[in-house]
């Protein structure tokens, strides 16, 4: 049902782009009502408007806290045009109908990011604006509500194309978006009052991107977040659900390392990782860990990709590459494959909480940001690890922290030799890692072993010893720790406890 916009109420915080809308409305003879700074803005561009106080008979009071909260304003928005009783009451109380409401809320979210003074934050909680939005959205059959600046361009086009008329479908769509704005705004306010303690789970993320499919082609999927705020995609196809899971795992993993490091991931686990004095050597060592699993994987570097490294990387097929940047000639090499996704990572700031569905509810926990350093190590065996072994132990512990449980990681010389991931027993994980290392001709003599949780028995340490592994890092805490430590002492193996478990499901 087409409706002509005859009157509009405009009350906005930000004025950018508003002039085009106001001029268009004026050209179609729309009567404009406005508040405070919006009134001044409209008058300054030479267009007539009426102060909202002229409708209500009341000035803006209490330092602007009360401007539009009046029956003559909300009656004009909420009255049902086809309801005779409503129209009789509108005439009786001299309430003018309002066909269009344009509101831009006080910037509460932005204020919280940049301000700590409570009184300033409180004053950025919009009351009148949010009420106008909800009222107009509720009465979408008669009223069009514009609730954010992102709609201004669409509104301008609509006004011109339909000569200031709106249809029911458009009004309902704008109403839905308005309640989305309202919900997001109230969620931010609640979480601030709650000191972000999550006494209730309230999450609002207005940016949704429909993906090609979920984990499998028969599953629908949407990514809620602002991917472009964290990455710039320079090349390649549309990013998939599985790509996003791998990218998330890759970013979490590479965040652990400061030295020049490259990692290769497959199904959220590292199949290759190495640090080195230069990027090309780190790449070669990372690939050597498991060149078979590297096929179709995700590559991430914490340094700029140069020409020589790009040439080597380009020899294999991979889905995604992530780096702080790329040299011009490196980019030319990597762009040779049309669908290859090339990302520049702008920053590494990740959410502090992790949320996932479980049964008929949700699980929420802190992100695991604990990374052990040399000061966290407890030396529990007679033999102490060498400085080189300590370096490798900490290196391995970073990897095992980011590997699916049960997890065992074998490392030597800042190179991941092999890992056992996602097995139902720790012994199976170790055997898997040993077999992979041997398959690719990697020497385990002098390597170190990391476990994401304690060893319930000494069997893993015995197996590792037989393969030439000389040092072990684990959380400790088993009732059989004494037995495991005794085996290490009897066989000249060094072991350190961290006291921290890193399960990952």
Alpha carbon 486 to chain centroid, angstroms: 46
3-state secondary structure of 75: helix
Instruction: Respond yes or no: is residue 67 known to be catalytic.
Output: no
CA-angle at 26, arms to 132 and 81, nearest 5°: 45
3-state helix, strand, coil in the chain (%, to 5): 40, 20, 40
What residue has token string 């940049």?
114
Question: What is d(CA 163, CA 219) in angstroms, rounded to the nearest whole number?
Answer: 42
CA distances from 245 to 209, 321, 342, 362, 490 (A): 15, 14, 16, 19, 44
Q: What string of DSSP letters covers 107-136?
A: -HHHHHHH---HHHHHTTS-SHHHHHHHHH
Residue among 128, 123, 124 nearest 109 (CA): 124
φ/ψ region of 343 (left if φ > 0, alpha if ψ in -120 to 50, else beta) reads beta
Q: From the candidates 86, 138, 431, 438, give the one annotated as an active-site residue.
A: 138
Question: What is d(CA 111, CA 124) in angstroms, rounded to the nearest whole number?
Answer: 7
Instruction: Respond yes or no: is residue 138 known to be catalytic.
Output: yes
- Name the DSSP letter for residue 256: T
Q: From the candidates 162, 165, 235, 267, give the one annotated as an active-site residue.
A: 267
Question: What is d(CA 502, CA 498) in angstroms, rounded to the nearest whole number?
Answer: 10
Q: What string of DSSP letters covers 364-375?
A: EEE-------GG
Take residue 333 and report the two structure tokens written for it: 């090499």
Question: What is d(CA 378, CA 387) in angstroms, rounded to the nearest whole number?
Answer: 15
Residue among 455, 454, 468, 480 nearest 410 (CA): 468
Edge-first strand listing for the sheet containing 144-146? 50-51, 31-34, 7-12, 100-104, 144-146
Take residue 212 and report the two structure tokens written for it: 């090609």
Beta strands of 303-451 (E only): which ranges?
A: 318-323, 341-345, 353-358, 361-366, 378-379, 408-411, 416-420, 448-451
Contact between 268 and 404 under an 8 Å Cβ cutoff? The reply is: yes
φ/ψ region of 267 (left if φ > 0, alpha if ψ in -120 to 50, else beta) reads left
Beta strands of 49-201 (E only): which ranges?
A: 50-51, 100-104, 144-146, 165-166
Which residues have a catalytic role annotated?
138, 267
């Amino acid at each position: 049902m087409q409706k002509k916009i005859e009157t509009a109420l405009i009350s906005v915080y930000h004025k950018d782009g508003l002039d085009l809308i106001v001029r268009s409305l004026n050209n179609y003879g729309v009567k404009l009502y406005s508040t405070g700074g919006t009134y001044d803005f409209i008058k300054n561009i030479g267009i007539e408007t009426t102060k909202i106080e002229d409708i209500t008979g009341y000035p803006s009071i209490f330092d602007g806290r009360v401007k539009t909260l009046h029956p003559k304003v909300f009656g004009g928005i909420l009255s049902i045009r086809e309801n005779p009783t409503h129209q009789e009451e509108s005439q009786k109380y001299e309430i003018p109908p309002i066909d269009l409401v344009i509101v831009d809320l006080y910037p509460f979210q932005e204020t919280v990011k940049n301000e700590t003074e409570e009184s300033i934050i409180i004053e950025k909680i919009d009351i009148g604006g949010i009420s106008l939005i909800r009222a107009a959205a509720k009465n979408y059959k008669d009223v069009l509500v514009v609730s954010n600046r992102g709609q201004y361009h669409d509104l301008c086009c609509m006004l011109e194309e339909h000569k200031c008329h709106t249809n029911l479908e458009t009004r309902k769509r704008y109403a839905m978006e308005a309640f989305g704005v309202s919900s997001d705004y109230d969620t931010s306010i609640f979480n601030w009052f709650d000191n972000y303690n999550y006494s209730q789970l309230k999450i609002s993320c207005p940016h949704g991107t429909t993906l090609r499919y979920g984990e499998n082609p028969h599953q629908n999927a949407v990514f809620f977040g602002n991917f472009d705020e964290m990455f710039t995609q320079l090349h390649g196809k549309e990013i998939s659900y599985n790509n996003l899971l791998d990218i998330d795992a890759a970013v979490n993993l590479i965040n652990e390392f400061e030295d020049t490091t490259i990692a290769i991931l497959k199904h959220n686990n590292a199949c290759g990782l190495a640090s080195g004095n230069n990027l090309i050597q780190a790449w070669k060592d990372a690939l050597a860990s498991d060149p078979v699993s590297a096929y179709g994987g995700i590559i991430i570097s914490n340094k700029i990709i140069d020409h020589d490294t790009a040439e080597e990387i380009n020899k294999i097929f991979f889905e995604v590459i992530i780096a702080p940047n790329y040299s011009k000639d490196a980019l030319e090499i990597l762009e040779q494959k049309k669908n290859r996704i090339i990302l520049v990572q702008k920053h590494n700031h990740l959410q502090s909480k992790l949320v996932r569905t479980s049964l008929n509810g949700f699980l929420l926990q802190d992100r695991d940001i604990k990374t052990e350093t040399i000061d966290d190590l407890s030396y529990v065996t007679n033999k102490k690890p060498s400085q080189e072994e300590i370096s490798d132990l900490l290196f391995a512990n970073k990897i095992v922290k980011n590997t699916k449980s049960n997890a065992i990681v074998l490392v030597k010389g800042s190179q991941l030799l092999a890992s056992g991931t996602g097995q139902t027993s720790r012994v199976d994980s170790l055997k898997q890692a040993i077999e992979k290392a041997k398959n690719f001709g990697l020497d385990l003599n002098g390597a170190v072993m990391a476990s994401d949780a304690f060893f319930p028995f000494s069997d893993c340490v015995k197996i590792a010893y037989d393969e030439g592994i000389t040092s072990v890092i684990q959380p400790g805490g088993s009732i059989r720790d004494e037995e495991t430590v005794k085996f290490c002492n009897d066989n000249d193996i060094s072991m350190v406890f961290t006291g921290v478990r890193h399960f990952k499901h």
